[in-house]
Structure 1
Amino acid sequence: MYRVRTEHFEAAFLPSADEHVDSVESIDVFVDLNDGTRWSATVITLAQVKTVMERWAATGEALDGAYFSCSDGIIVRDAGIGNMTQVLVGLVETGDFTHVLQRVDE
């Protein structure tokens, strides 16, 4: 588990043992807001979505790679936990957080 603390929340990212935090392209995260609520998301880069869809085209999954979906998914442009944290901070600051992440403490 890789933890990041900001003024708005604490995030617990769940990288694989061999992943480097600066190059992570797909990761699950739990976010504990300062108000005590807990949220989750799967954060994935646009490049990784393309890779997954190409693999699915070959395996026949998701209508031969015709679409991509994942529950509580956020697609980001840039890899790395630092970049992903910046997106989460922006979502909290704009108030879009509750529309994008999945609340898990209810």
Structure 2
Amino acid sequence: MGAVCNVDVEVRPTADGSRWSATVFTPAEVERIMHGWSRTGEALGGRYFWCSDGLIVRDPGVDNMTQVPADLLDDGDFTQVLQRLDDE
């Protein structure tokens, strides 16, 4: 079984109850998805990749894919990178 290359994360950074999300991918996972789309015709035959809360990280694995958002939180950059979730 290979390392995780695509995961959804939710971050709750403060006592204000705000929630932030990202879908974390490795470059290899984006390439794999686009290659599949070239066969199915999605996304103009795999010619582009887009998602509203996408975050590309270099290395696969749950530890790395959760450490990057944690580091963004520590640096204060998470609001620039993650997408705020509105509560219903």
**TM-score with structure 2 length normalisation?**
0.85
Matched, 1:89 2:65: no
* In 1: Cα distance, 2:67 partner to 2:10 partner: 15
| Contact 2:27–2:58 (8 Å) recurs in 1 | yes
Report the alpha carbon displacement of residue 67 of structure 1 after superposing the two structures with TM: 0.6
Residue of structure 2 in register with 1:79 after alignment = 60
5+ long unaligned stretches in structure 1: 1-19
Q: Secondary structure at the match of 2:49?
A: coil
Residue of structure 2 in register with 1:67 after alignment = 48
Report the alpha carbon displacement of residue 105 of structure 1 after superposing the two structures with TM: 4.0
Correspondence list, 1:1-106, <5 A: 23-35=3-15, 36-105=17-86
In structure 1, give the amino acid aligned to 2:25.
I
Deviations 1:53-73 (A, max 9, x none): 111111111111111011211
* In 2: Cα distance, 1:93 partner to 1:103 partner: 17
Aligned length: 86
Which of 1 and 2 has higher RCO (CA within 8 Å, sep 6+)?
2
Q: Stretches of 4+ moved more than 3 A in 1?
A: none
Deviations 1:23-56 (A, max 9, x none): 2111111111133321111111111000001111
Query: Identity of aligned pairs, percent?
Result: 56
5+ long unaligned stretches in structure 2: none
**TM-score with structure 1 length normalisation?**
0.72
Q: Secondary structure at the match of 1:84?
A: helix
